[in-house]
Structure 1
């Protein structure tokens, strides 16, 4: 499905939890009819308790509050928050709750990785920020760096439809017949601004490749520059070929990746591709100031995306994801400026000479990690067509 860009939106870029949570809490506190919230992680920390408290207060004043938390990422949610939310009248469900031991099988790797909120059918939030503090990380990785967007306008109708559909899917899977939804409260959604935006999801039925296709279409059309910031970056064949083709026709490509990570295996696997990417003309920066969790991009100063989807096989092939795509020079300029400032403040550019000087055991670790990730994909049922396209370093 191609992205349907709708005009008339007002979009507000939110940088990390310091901007996201005040905006989210204000919207929840102003809710009068209904709230939908989807998140991968709902942490037992200050941000988690603030959001849970606001949701409970909304339910007590008669707002229909619907919350879905991933059963693996939010596996402690029930113990931490369930009783208080239930008592207030908040309706909560887990997506694929973990039962017993986690096995490396395709159906268990399918997670709800979306981070969405829709309030009263008039305000939505889309991005990569979980319900957790920026500082809920090891001391050397604080604060978490990420983005979300506050959305008003016609594109909100696409988001509202997606959260309602997810609620119905999870309701049936959990046999929660009493959690049936009422009809939408009011027509959605009025003109709110001048910006063009589209909302896309990734699932395993009709929208398996929508987010990836939107990226590749924009990369194929790029003429000047591409700036990608992504927490977990291991592009598949089609994505990799699109980047290489763009580099060959003279497009300037910059990729900002994690310098500090919570998943070392994937980072080492990605580093195995650095030499080939640099040889192709890409510039690679690692963000070393803190923990980069962003999943964003800007192309040719006009096209931009903010969402939950990493550029790796697990996000693009397995997890349920959601991204907002924007065609607006003002929004793109703001996001690009923010990323360039992040690179200036905490990014370090990787040079070919640095990679060439790496020790044999560092090269072995990268090669071994790359092999393990490829093996995991094969075990999960995906073959070479979905694997990385850059050739690992020798």
Structure 2
């Protein structure tokens, strides 16, 4: 089910927490009517506390503030952190609040989106969570990541989606969701020349929308494709589109993790290297620090930024959101940023330098052609449930903390 392309928008690329946090905190602190925020991770570190202060400032001025966090990604918020927000009128929602006894087992089908809409006029979409590891002063483990700030009519569509997610998660009634959310798609005045499409992935009606838009853009590419993605392990159809584009003369470049936050990520992606390199795809490993970005550009015409990785979790399980942008000026900004990354912070992977035994080659071939071809099917067989939101109250945080302290003394 395709989402409409909306014209008249303006986008600004925000790289890492140094650019993202000041803009989003300023927007939230200055909100007059409404703040909608969704995030996978909210930690109670210096970034989380700065967000906390901005949310309080908005709420105390009378803005309605809704914050949605994922139970697995944001498990350790204190009673004081939550109670000060709820006392000021902030409505805190937690996605899939499964009990945590002995281990956090509620891993699959997470709410992985990172979205903000302020006063229905400014939106932020990307992959940056609210944690200090998105800032360079965190050290060698600081993440490289991206987001966009959006203005224009697309913001109303993002706002409508977020209101719908809250309503559906709390009521479970789709008709109620439609009646509440869709009247909020008001016509905002044009802010620029960019066409945009807000695309999300869920486990019901939009299971493969983000992947489908990626594959369509690659299929239409004529000059170049550059994809920077932290967790790269897509299905066979996606890999086939990359190889087909390279064979018809498109310069296809992948920027993947060379200094991963989880070693298994690099191991999994490396299983695909020979297959892609032999098909003409160029691979660069970003080695300066962990790559967390989910960003791509095609032909200086099309770009995407969002929360979706290109792996089974994001493409088949998690709730994700990306914005697709058709604008030459913005695509050039993205392209220039990724070119700098490849020139100054990456090592190019050469097929001649990859050692591969005959046994490993057979194993890799089996995995590619028998497992990856079927992964959308087996991923879909993992436990599924309807999105569920619950209010996050200080008393519930205290009870959860008690359980954790008993399980992990």
* Kept after mapping to 2: 8 A contact 1:39/1:116: yes
Give the equivalent residue in structure 2 for 1:390: none
Distance change (3 Å), C-alpha of 1:300 and 1:136 = closer
Distance 2:137 2:379 in 1: 29
Match runs of 1:62-77 below 5 Å: 62-77=62-77
Match runs of 1:231-242 below 5 Å: 231-242=230-241
TM-superposed deviation, 1:30: 1.6
Give the equivalent residue in structure 2 for 1:56: 56
Give the equivalent residue in structure 1 for 2:175: none
Give the equivalent residue in structure 2 for 1:318: 317
Match runs of 1:237-248 below 5 Å: 237-248=236-247
Deviations 1:123-172 (A, max 9, x none): 10001111112248974322x11111111111112101111011112323
Match runs of 1:190-229 below 5 Å: 190-229=189-228
Distance 1:183 1:311 in 2: 30
| CA RMSD between the two structures | 3.0
Q: How many residue pairs are counted as aligned between the two chains?
A: 370
Give the equivalent residue in structure 1 for 2:95: 95
Distance 1:17 1:130 in 2: 9
235-244 or 111-120: which moved more? 235-244
Give the equivalent residue in structure 2 for 1:342: 341
* Kept after mapping to 2: 8 A contact 1:9/1:151: yes
Give the equivalent residue in structure 2 for 1:41: 41
Deviations 1:212-241 (A, max 9, x none): 111111111111110000000011122112
Distance 1:156 1:286 in 2: 34
TM-superposed deviation, 1:77: 2.8
* Structure 1: runs of 5+ lacking an equivalent: 174-180, 384-394
TM-superposed deviation, 1:195: 1.3
Match runs of 1:95-134 below 5 Å: 95-100=95-100, 101-103=103-105, 108-133=107-132, 134=134
* Kept after mapping to 1: 8 A contact 2:160/2:185: no
Distance 1:186 1:195 in 2: 18
TM-superposed deviation, 1:48: 0.8
TM-superposed deviation, 1:87: 2.0
Match runs of 1:218-367 below 5 Å: 218-356=217-355
Distance change (3 Å), C-alpha of 1:185 and 1:379 = closer
Distance change (3 Å), C-alpha of 1:96 and 1:14 = same
Give the equivalent residue in structure 1 for 2:400: none
Distance 2:279 2:294 in 1: 23
Distance 2:105 2:376 in 1: 13
Give the equivalent residue in structure 2 for 1:169: 168
